[in-house]
Each structure stands twice: as C-alpha cells, then as structure tokens.
Structure 1
Amino acid sequence: MVVGEISQQRNLIIIGGGPGGYTAAVRGAQLGLSVTLIEQAEIGGTCLNKGCIPSKTFTHAAKKRAETVHLQELGIGDGTAAFDFSKLLAYKDKVIVGLRTGVESLCKNNKIEVIRGKATFLGPDKIGVENGHQFDIYEFEQAIIATGSSPVLPLSLNAEGKRIILSHNIFELEELPEHLLVKGNDYMALEVASSFAALGAKVSILFEDNTGFAFDESIHKEMLRLFKRRKIEVHRDVQIISVNETDDEIAVIFQNDKKVEKTIWGSHLFVTGTRAANVESLGISRIGVKQTNEGFILVDGSLRTSIPSIYAIGDVTEGPLLAVKAIKQGKAVVEEIAGMKPEVDLTFTPVVAHTLPPAVSVGLTEQKARDFGIEVRVSQFPLGGNGYAAITGKKDGFIKVISNPETEMISGIHMIGEGAIELSGSFVQLLEMAAKEEDVKFPLYAHPGYSEGLLEAVEGLIDQAIHAAPAKKKDLLNI
C-alpha cells in the first residue's frame, strides 16, 4: 500500500454517493462550497443501482403487462403479450446506467471532486481513503456521512441459503422465479409480490402479523382483496418455524392463524429483513461518534453528530429508511453549513407502495386517530365512480380522507388506485399547510381526472359527493 505523505486539505467531504450524498454535493456546489464526494462503489448508491430504480422498473413492466386485456378492449392487440424476462433485465440496466451517467455529469458540471475508495475516519477532522494500493489522507473542515444501509437477513433464517433473496439482489435474478415466496408486510414485500405475480410468477405471501403494516387498515383490506383476485396466495398471521432448502426448492414450515402447521414449497424466498447502517468500516466509534444500540448515528436537529465537524444524513440516522428522507436531509445539512436556517420535518413523510394499483398513506390513519382519542370524520370515495378511471379501466381502489368534525382540519389522506403516486405530493402539501376541508373543495379540478376523486372524498365528509351514493346519516360522523 502506498500512503500519501502529506495530508491534503478539503473544505467539505461527503462520504457516500447515494441520493442523499450526491444531492448534498450538488446543493453545496450551488451554494458556493468546495465539495469532495467519496464513493467506494457506484455513484447513485443502493437506491439507483440496486433498490428504488430497479424495483420501480419491474413494477412499471408489471403494470404494462397487466394492461394487455384492457388494450384489447381498445382495439389494440389480442389480449395476450409475450414476455421476455431477459429484455426486462437489459432495460433495467439501461435505465440504471443512464441515470448514473446523469448523476456523474451533474457532479462534473458542478465542479464536484469525486474520489473513489473506502473512507475511514482517522480523527475528528481527518479521513483516510483506500483505493487498491493507494491510501490518501485528507483534512476537512466539515464532513457528511451518507453511506446508507444494507439489508440483513433475520437470524431465524439460514444465512447461507442460495434461494433466500434480499432486497439488494431480487432484481438481479437471471430468470423469473417459478414460485416466489414473499415474507413481509412492508412496501417492498408488497411491491415484489404484486409485480412478480403480474409478470407471470406464481406468488405466495406470508404475513407474520399486521403490526408493521404502515398503511390504513382499509388499504390493507383492499390489497388482500386484489391479491386474492390476482391469485396471489396469502397466508395471514403466520409464525415461521423453519426454512429448509434443497438444490431445487425451498420450503417454509409455519403455523397458520388457526395454529395448524403447514409447509409451503417455492423456488425462491424473498425476505425484506431488517436494515443495518453502513458504518462498520468508517471507524466512527474510535473517534467518539455516538450511535444507538442498533448502530444508527445519533444527530441533533441540525443533523450534526456528537463530533461538531461531522454530520450524518439518510439511512445511517434514525427514522424512516427512505431515499426521500436522505434527499431532504442532504439539502438541509449543506444549507446549515452554508449559514442558512433550514428545517427538516418528517411528520408527513408519505408511505408509498408501487403495487398494482399503487398505494399511499399520509398523516394519521383512522385507527391511529382513534388510538389518540381524536374525534374523526371519515369519507371514502371509490374510484369506480370516477370518470377518468372508467376511461382507463383503472377502477380499483379509493381515496379516503380523515378530518376533525369540529375544526374541519384534515389529518390523514389515504389512497389505493391509479394516480396515487402522483397525487401523494398534493396530499403531503395539504397536511403540511394544515388544510381544512374548504381548502380542498374551493379549487377547480381538471375533468376528467383522478384528482377529482380527492374532491369527492372531501365532499363526502358531509354527504355532498356527486358521484357516490348518499351515506346513511349515522355514517357522516364516525366517533
């Protein structure tokens, strides 16, 4: 190993080139900071290369394949479509490379110094970077840790199993699984089950319980209904006893909700697992950076760690492990370094699943509101009554609005159905501005369009939805 003899001086060093890291780098450059970005793998991080982008490419393909029957109704095709899994993989790689090249160009155009290698803290203002036989030392004024997280297989499963798949490699399978078993109830498990089934795989999903389900209970029920209709086998309230693997199959032995022991065989088992912060090789404990018992880095309201010169953002910190959090924090932390007064509030972080159809939850669920003792008024507008949904054939799902009957303030908006992802930004905006029912009812909405469903859901709170059957009087106020 060749060690640099002299420490090189840098202003701001960012470790990790994922969505939080490169966003921080670009925003820092925009604010006139001299930025050095260190990445040991590919620019774009897990999100671009192994997570968000590959998974959404699969859900996009699944959505298109599911549309073939409707296309026949429009006079397009015969209702069938050949599917070449290898072409999907090639398209996924094409998208990833294109986006990664775009991020690399952003760094170049913003005059961001990109250094390849593995970073290790040597002190509160000094870092070493190893790249092959080269080891260079840098002194910095500020540093931002944005190294993300990695999936971890539960201890109860066989870590050496070749047919047990985690989120970072499910989209790298060379062939479509014959029978995919899915364990989990988070957005990733739901997306994988939904998309792989639409692409032609037999899918069985195992829910151990509903306590970790992040969506409103009404969305959960609708998803179960749609899974059943699409022949996705659902096992609820299961307790997994063991997992056994052969050269050709994998078997999950579990106890079902009736306390009966059952065995289900599949070609692969997908497990979302837990996630661990990518901090082991950073040497942060040696220099006194405080962490939680789970290994996440503790930060204050300014995203500063226990070392004043070092900040941390994204998955290495506590809170939701989402790219949207990392991006928001990435912008805020460099604005803080530049002397501005940014604010990060994750209260209304949308919970999103790119299922078929997609689902979104923002704010309080109905059950949470009741648990908090909050008086609620609830309205649920079915998309079957929406004109544009009738045109597109995407009539599954609904928009649900929860408000306070006294203040008329909206406290939660939940949707499953076509357009949910695009409308989620409007849902967040309404809750952030503490919108009242009138704030939704006053504006004009494009007709026909999915957004009219939001208007009718709010009008339904007082039984004024035009395209919904009148509610019984006792249903207008749910207390």
Structure 2
Amino acid sequence: MVVGDASLEIDTVVIGAGPGGYVAAIRAAQLGQSVLIVDKSEWGGVCLNRGCIPSKALISAAHQYETVQNASSMGITMENVKVDYSKVQEFKRGVVSKLTGGVAGLLKGNKVQMFKGEAMFINETEVRVFNDQEAPRYKFKNCIIATGSRPIELKPFPYGGRILSSTEALELPEIPKSLIVIGGGYIGAELSQMFAKFGTKVTIIEGADMVLPGFDKDLTQLVSKNMKKHGFEIFTKAQAQSATQTDKDVTVKFTVDGKEQEVTGDYLLVTVGRRPNTDGELGLDMIGVKMTDRGLIEVDHQGRTSIPHIYAIGDIVPGLALAHKASYEAKVAAEAIAGLPSVVDYKCIPAVCFTDPECSSVGYSEAEAKEKGYNVKVGKFAYVGNGRALSLNAPEGFVKIVADAETGLVLGGQIVGIEASNLISEVALAIENALTLEDIALTIHAHPTLGELVMEAAEVALGHPIHAIVR
C-alpha cells in the first residue's frame, strides 16, 4: 500500500469503529472530509459484537421462553417447552452479523476508508496503522479517538476458566445450572436475569446497599422483587474476597457485616465496571494528551483534547459509558471539525437498563431537582391503570414525571415497567424542547397504548387525572 516510510494524507483519522467511531466517521464524511477509520476488531465495536446487541438478543430469547411458559394465565397451554441454547446463540450471532454488515456497508457507502488493524501515534499529526500484512503511515489534519472500554479485571478474580467477564458470559455454549455474579449493576443484573429465565440459579454479591445502584430505589425495588421471584440470592453491602475454581465449578468467599460466607456455582461472572482503552500501544502519552488519574481523556465542550486538532469521544472521556452518548459526542466532534458550532449538552441523556422490569431515567430525579433548588411537582401513574399494559399481562411498574411547580417545565422522568426503554424517549424529547406538563397532557396519545402512561403521569402532576383518584 505504501512504499518506504512515506505518509498518505487524510483529513480525519478515526480510531475505533464502535458506536462512537463509526458515527463520527460517517458524519465527518458527510461534511466533506476524507476519512480513514481504524479498528483492530469488528466493525460496530464492543456494543454491536460483545455488548449491547448480543446481550439484548439473548434477553429477548429469555423473555420469549418465559412468556411461553406463563401463557397458561392467558388461556394458552403448552407442553414440553424446551430451550436449544445452541440455536439461541445462533439467533444472537445472526442479529450481530446483520448489524455489523450494515455498519460496514454504511462506511463504504459514505466513502470512508476502512483499515482493519491497530493505530499508533507517531507524533501530533501522524499515525501508523498496522496489521500482519501492512503498516502505512497517515498524516492527518484532525483525529477522533474512540477506542472504547473493556471489562475491569479484579486481581483476586482473573478472567479465565470458570471466571467470566460479560464477553465470555455471552458466548457460553450451555445454560449454567448456577451462576455467581460479583456486581449488581446494569450488566450483572441484565445478564443474571437472562440466565435465570432459562433456569439458572443466581447469586449476586453487590457492594452497595441495593442492586442497580445509581437508579432510584423505587425503580430497583421492582427489579429486586422479580429477581427473588426467580430464586435469586442477593447479598448487598457485601465484599467478595477470593475464588477457587475446579474443572467443574468455582467457589467464592465473601463477607457481609464482617461475617465470612461462601457460595459455589458453575461459573463466576464479574461485572464491576469498565476501564477506558487509553493505555497500550496507542501512544497518547507520547504526544502528551492530558488525561485524568482514571485514564480518561480530558475534553472540552466539543470533544477537543489538550491537542486542539485531536478529539476524543465515548467511554474514554468523562461521563456515563453509554453507546448513545458516544454516538451523540461523535456527531458533535465531526461537526466541530467542519467548523459548525455544535457543542455537547448532557442534560438529556437517557439511562436504560434492560432488566425485568426495564428501568429508564432521564433528566433530574425528584431528589436531584430539589437539590438544584426547584419547587418540584411530581406525577406518577401506575401500569396497572393502563389497558395496554394489562392486555400484555405486564401490570407492574409506573411512570414518574418531575416538573417545576411554578412553570410546569418538565425536568426529568423515571420509568419502570415493560417498554420503559422506549417510553423514556418522550420524556427526553420534552426536556430537550423545554416542554411543560400541559404540552404532554394536551398531546393526543393513541389508545390503547403504553404511551398513554406518560400522558396520564403528566395529568396526575397537573392535578386532573382521568384514570386515577387524586387524594
């Protein structure tokens, strides 16, 4: 590709092809830049290949299995319902393949040059990309770093054998009879509930005082209740100490209230967070990009690092490690390079957890709004009062809207229940566009739909609900 050590010239180099990187590359190309994207693994990154998408495919399969098992409550009786987990995995791989192929097609369609390999900075304006066959150099005008993150590995629990990260858990060839999970955050909660629906006995060891720390307790209580219904053992305020594994199982020792306990399971899943991919051979230290003590890259309101023509987005910068945040930041960075006045505004990033029931949140919680000095008005409407929820046999949950009492301006919302991940978008749109409770309440929502829950919550906050009694 390149003779000798001469450099090719490119407008923008994007390092990483996850939901931040590939979006940045496409947007930059749309804005007239010549773009090279580099990734050592698959197009679509961790999210499409080893995270968001494969986990949701398995979770969907588990929901289907549970729904079939419980169909008798709706008058449908089935016998000998079985799971062929090899075919479940085949379904998952099919979903992933379609999406990664789609990303590759979008990059090619936008005339983005694609290089499968690793990248290393030579200096502030040059990068070498290399694989087993070639190692060309590129001189760039701008660069967007989007290298993502990887599971944190704890020294007492090194990955391997029967100690798994989320990556290995998604690739298990069989359904484990028992599973120990260290970390009851969103990854641990989602995957453990998925396995539990397939019949796995789950034990969760969580250091905080509840599962899903970070979400409001009134949301997570319903998730904990559902976990216990499926036979979970949940230890909170617990500290995992050590693990001993054989070729058949793994035993974990942990402490609760100073008392040592132990539990044995087929596998141990460790989900205690993710580490930014800013180390290794990328060479950020060589060019002097400023980072925090946690290895995150410091950026301004357009994603610009301490080197003005080098940008960083996604899991490697401060803030929530969310795919949709990375995609949002990607567009801002690409547009900033093109001279557009785009800047990040994080007031309206939804957080979603695909547990059972689903949890979602956007903007301020009631407590956060009060801390900010708002006189708060709250509307809360239960799923059990919604016709569509009942017809779906999913009456658990509620929608909660937080607003400014004086102006009615929507400040935030929290939802727990079926399709909470989709319903939260209406609340996010309301916040983004400075809408009021009246704006939501006066919007005609189709009937019977789950979307009516948001309208009903707004009406409760306004004090004139039709399908609830104000006390």
Partner of 1:464: 464
Structure 1 gap ranges (5+) = 473-479
Q: Which moved more, 1:65-74 or 1:440-449?
A: 65-74
Partner of 1:418: 418
Partner of 2:169: 170
1:189 corresponds to 2:181: no
User: CA deviation digits over 1:424-454, x for unaligned, max 9?
Assistant: 2111111222322211111111111111111
Change (3 A) 1:162 1:371: farther
Question: How far apart, CA to CA, are the structure 2 residues paired with 1:200 and 1:189?
Answer: 16
Partner of 1:290: 290
Partner of 2:21: 21
C-alpha contact (below 8 Å) 1:4/1:137 kept by paired residues: no
Q: Return the offset for 1:252.
A: 2.2
Q: How does 1:52-451 map to 2 (within 5 A)?
A: 52-74=52-74, 76-78=76-78, 81-155=81-155, 157-159=156-158, 161-210=160-209, 213-256=213-256, 259-279=258-278, 280-372=280-372, 374-451=374-451
Question: How far apart, CA to CA, are the structure 1 residues paired with 2:271 and 2:288?
Answer: 32
User: CA deviation digits over 1:331-354, x for unaligned, max 9?
Assistant: 111111112111221222111011
Alignment-mate amino acid for residue 317 of structure 2: T
Question: How far apart, CA to CA, are the structure 1 residues paired with 2:247 and 2:439?
Answer: 60
Question: How far apart, CA to CA, are the structure 2 residues paired with 1:26 and 1:160?
Answer: 35
Q: Which moved more, 1:78-87 or 1:422-431?
A: 78-87
Q: Which moved more, 1:177-186 or 1:367-376?
A: 367-376
Question: How far apart, CA to CA, are the structure 1 residues paired with 2:313 and 2:102?
Answer: 22
Q: Return the offset for 1:120.
A: 0.4
Question: How far apart, CA to CA, are the structure 1 residues paired with 2:82 and 2:69?
Answer: 13
Alignment-mate amino acid for residue 356 of structure 1: D
Seq. identity, %: 37
- SS of structure 1 residue aligned to 2:194: helix
Change (3 A) 1:79 1:359: farther
Question: How far apart, CA to CA, are the structure 2 residues paired with 1:141 and 1:34?
Answer: 10
Question: How far apart, CA to CA, are the structure 2 residues paired with 1:366 and 1:224?
Answer: 21
Question: How far apart, CA to CA, are the structure 1 residues paired with 2:62 and 2:11?
Answer: 46
User: CA deviation digits over 1:243-262, x for unaligned, max 9?
Assistant: 332332222222335x4432
Q: Which moved more, 1:208-217 or 1:406-415?
A: 208-217
Give aligned pairs, total.
Answer: 468
Question: How far apart, CA to CA, are the structure 1 residues paired with 2:230 and 2:379?
Answer: 27
User: CA deviation digits over 1:122-146, x for unaligned, max 9?
Assistant: 0111111121152211111111111
Question: How far apart, CA to CA, are the structure 1 residues paired with 2:181 and 2:222?
Answer: 18
Question: How far apart, CA to CA, are the structure 2 residues paired with 1:370 and 1:251?
Answer: 45
C-alpha contact (below 8 Å) 1:182/1:189 kept by paired residues: yes
C-alpha contact (below 8 Å) 1:362/1:413 kept by paired residues: yes
Change (3 A) 1:224 1:448: same
Alignment-mate amino acid for residue 140 of structure 1: F
User: CA deviation digits over 1:35-65, x for unaligned, max 9?
Assistant: 1111111111111110111111111111111
TM-score by length of 2: 0.94
C-alpha contact (below 8 Å) 1:146/1:314 kept by paired residues: yes
User: CA deviation digits over 1:252-276, x for unaligned, max 9?
Assistant: 222335x443222111121212322
C-alpha contact (below 8 Å) 1:214/1:351 kept by paired residues: no
Alignment root-mean-square deviation, CA? 2.0
TM-score by length of 1: 0.92
Question: How far apart, CA to CA, are the structure 1 residues paired with 2:3 and 2:202?
Answer: 52
User: CA deviation digits over 1:369-419, x for unaligned, max 9?
Assistant: 344454333332211111011111111111122223333332221111112
Change (3 A) 1:367 1:263: farther
Question: How far apart, CA to CA, are the structure 2 residues paired with 1:69 and 1:395?
Answer: 18
Q: Return the offset for 1:4.
A: 3.5
Question: How far apart, CA to CA, are the structure 2 residues paired with 1:80 and 1:429?
Answer: 45
Q: Return the offset for 1:23.
A: 0.8
C-alpha contact (below 8 Å) 2:166/2:271 kept by paired residues: yes
User: CA deviation digits over 1:296-352, x for unaligned, max 9?
Assistant: 111111211111221111111111111111111111111111121112212221110
Question: How far apart, CA to CA, are the structure 1 residues paired with 2:354 and 2:303?
Answer: 30
- SS of structure 1 residue aligned to 2:135: strand
C-alpha contact (below 8 Å) 2:222/2:357 kept by paired residues: no
C-alpha contact (below 8 Å) 2:183/2:205 kept by paired residues: yes
Change (3 A) 1:287 1:83: same
Q: Which moved more, 1:455-464 or 1:47-56?
A: 455-464
Q: Return the offset for 1:77.
A: 4.8
Question: How far apart, CA to CA, are the structure 1 residues paired with 2:160 and 2:454?
Answer: 46
Q: Which moved more, 1:107-116 or 1:245-254?
A: 245-254
Q: How does 1:43-54 map to 2 (within 5 A)?
A: 43-54=43-54
User: CA deviation digits over 1:210-244, x for unaligned, max 9?
Assistant: 48712111101121122222222222222223333
Alignment-mate amino acid for residue 202 of structure 1: K
Deviant stretches of 4+, over 6 Å: none
C-alpha contact (below 8 Å) 2:205/2:240 kept by paired residues: no
1:11 corresponds to 2:11: yes
- SS of structure 1 residue aligned to 2:167: coil
Question: How far apart, CA to CA, are the structure 1 residues paired with 2:204 and 2:5?
Answer: 56
- SS of structure 1 residue aligned to 2:17: coil
